[in-house]
Chains A and B, each alone.
Chain A
Amino acid sequence: QKEVEQNSGPLSVPEGAIASLNCTYSDRGSQSFFWYRQYSGKSPELIMFIYSNGDKEDGRFTAQLNKASQYVSLLIRDSQPSDSATYLCAVERKDDKIIFGKGTRLHILP
């Protein structure tokens, strides 16, 4: 089982709809969870991080964490063409190492 798994996509979502990105992880002791956005040819930039079970909202973005199911998700409301990018899920293990998933390509259809 891969440490951090994401569907590679592409995930196509109409403009204005909700985009839902999912990530599962294998290390049950993992403590912090991050979502990064990466435009083609650019470096990753942090969207959100979460470390407690439940939801965390920031503008159009909501991160959801369920440690019992080892599952973290990112919801993007009112999707815009500028949201088209690759979204990387990252997990901080108990030994402080950060493990990245391979990313999900998101395409917002105008």
Chain B
Amino acid sequence: EAQVTQNPRYLITVTGKKLTVTCSQNMNHEYMSWYRQDPGLGLRQIYYSMNVEVTDKGDVPEGYKVSRKEKRNFPLILESPSPNQTSLYFCASSRSTGVGSNIQYFGAGTRLSVL
């Protein structure tokens, strides 16, 4: 089954304790993104990757890191989480970019609480 898998689904942590949210897709997609979704602010892109070893900042990258060492995996790293990073996070992938290609397939989401 074609899917984007995020783990964990729920995470409660404390300020400053490094964490990683994993994301994996089995569709051989080139393009992967991380979003956060907050009430009243909608979906905002954190980082994206056009292909292996190619990553770039989205609209809200501060406090986050990513890497793309393999095509299927795109982990999100919070080196020193803070309470303002409490949010619902989605990983997404798409086949490519350009007209008609950039359909985003989303993971189930990770609900993160930073105390």
Complex Cα spacing A68 to B2, Å: 37
Q: A67 at the A/B interface (Cβ < 8 Å)?
A: no
**How many A-B pairs with Cβ below 8 Å?**
56
Interface residues of B in 59-107 (CB under 8 A from A): 90, 97-100, 102-107
Using Cβ atoms and an 8 Å threshold, which residues of chain A touch B40?
102
Instruction: Produce 1/0 per residue, A89-100, CB < 8 A to B.
Output: 010100011111
Q: B52 at the A/B interface (Cβ < 8 Å)?
A: no
The CB with the most chain B CB atoms within 10 A, among A41, A49, A51, A96, is that of A96
Q: B12 at the A/B interface (Cβ < 8 Å)?
A: no
Query: Are the CB atoms of B98 and A45 closer together than 8 Å?
Result: no
Q: B43 at the A/B interface (Cβ < 8 Å)?
A: yes
Query: Are the CB atoms of B99 and A31 closer together than 8 Å?
Result: yes
Instruction: Produce 1/0 per residue, A24-54, CB < 8 A to B.
Output: 0000000110101000011111100101000
Complex Cα spacing A36 to B106, Å: 11
Query: Are the CB atoms of B102 and A96 closer together than 8 Å?
Result: yes
Using Cβ atoms and an 8 Å threshold, which residues of chain A touch B97?
92, 96
Using Cβ atoms and an 8 Å threshold, which residues of chain B touch A51?
99-100
The CB with the most chain A CB atoms within 10 A, among B40, B102, B109, is that of B102
Query: Are the CB atoms of A43 and B106 closer together than 8 Å?
Result: yes
The residue in chain B whose Cβ has the minimal distance to the Cβ of A52 is B99
Query: Are the CB atoms of A32 and B42 closer together than 8 Å?
Result: no
Q: B45 at the A/B interface (Cβ < 8 Å)?
A: yes
Query: Are the CB atoms of A34 and B103 closer together than 8 Å?
Result: yes
Complex Cα spacing A38 to B59, Å: 21
Query: Are the CB atoms of B43 and A88 closer together than 8 Å?
Result: yes
Complex Cα spacing A94 to B31, Å: 16
Query: Are the CB atoms of B106 and A44 closer together than 8 Å?
Result: yes
Using Cβ atoms and an 8 Å threshold, which residues of chain B touch A88?
42-43
Q: Write the residues of chain B forming the contact surface with A, with a CB cutoff of 8 angstroms.
A: 33, 35, 40-45, 48, 50, 58, 90, 97-100, 102-109
Given contact pairs A32-B100, A43-B107, A90-B104, enumerate 12 new A-B contacts (beta carbons under 8 Å).
Answer: A31-B99, A32-B99, A34-B103, A36-B104, A43-B90, A43-B108, A44-B90, A49-B100, A51-B99, A98-B33, A98-B104, A100-B42
